[in-house]
Structure 1
Amino acid sequence: MSNVDSASDARTANNGVRHQYRVLSDEEKAAMVALKDLGAAFLEKIDALGQSREYSIAKTKIEEAVMWAVKGLTA
C-alpha cells in the first residue's frame, strides 16, 4: 500500500478503523503537522540520551500524547 500524507484529505485511504473523517481546514492541518513535528523532535532528543526502560516508557507516552492530541484536533 502506498503512503498517504497525514495532512492530506486522502488520509482515510489507509485507515480501517475510522470510517468517516471530516475535512480539516488548512489551519487544522498545519496544527496537526506541528504536533507531530514536536513529538518527533522530543523522541529524537530522548533517543540521543541512550537506552533505558525509563526512556522507552517516556517514548511510549510521547507517542500516546501525540495520538490523543491529533485525535482531539481531528475529531
Structure 2
Amino acid sequence: MAQHVSSTGDDRTANNAVRHQYRVLSDAEKAQMQRIKDMGAALITELHVIGGTDPTLDRFASRDLSLANTHIEDAVMRAVRHITQ
C-alpha cells in the first residue's frame, strides 16, 4: 500500500525517489504552497464544469480543455518549485 505524505509536511522526502534533500519551509511558505495547489485544483474543477465532464475522471470535453489542464498543472508545479527552492 502506498504511503501518502503531506506536500507541506517536513517529511515530504519519504516517497520521493529523486530529490532527497529539502530545506524546511516556513509556515508562510507552507501556506503559500497550499494556496497555489488549492487555486490550481479549483481551476481544474472549473474546466470540468464548463466542459460538462466528471471531475473525478481525467477526461475533458475537448483538446483545448485538456491542454488547459496540462498548463494549470505545469503552472502549479513551477510556482511550488519557486516556493520550495
Structure with the higher fraction of residues in helix conformation: 1
Detail structure 1 runs of 4+ shifted over 3 Å in the superposition: none
Report deviation, 1:66. Answer: 0.1
TM-score by length of 2: 0.86
Q: Percent identity?
A: 55
Report deviation, 1:74. Answer: 0.1
Work out which of the two has the higher radius of gyration on C-alpha atoms and give 1 or 2.
2
Residue of structure 2 equivalent to 1:20? 21
Unaligned regions of 5+ residues in structure 1, if any?
none
The answer to which of 1-10 and 62-71 deviates more is 1-10
Report deviation, 1:49. Answer: 1.4
Trace 1:52-71 onto structure 2 (pairs within 5 A): 52-71=62-81
Unaligned regions of 5+ residues in structure 2, if any?
52-60
CA RMSD of aligned residues (A): 0.6
Relative contact order, CA 8 A, sep 6+: which one is greater?
1
Inter-partner Cα distance in structure 2 for 1:20 and 1:8: 13
The count of residues paired between Structure 1 and Structure 2 equals 75
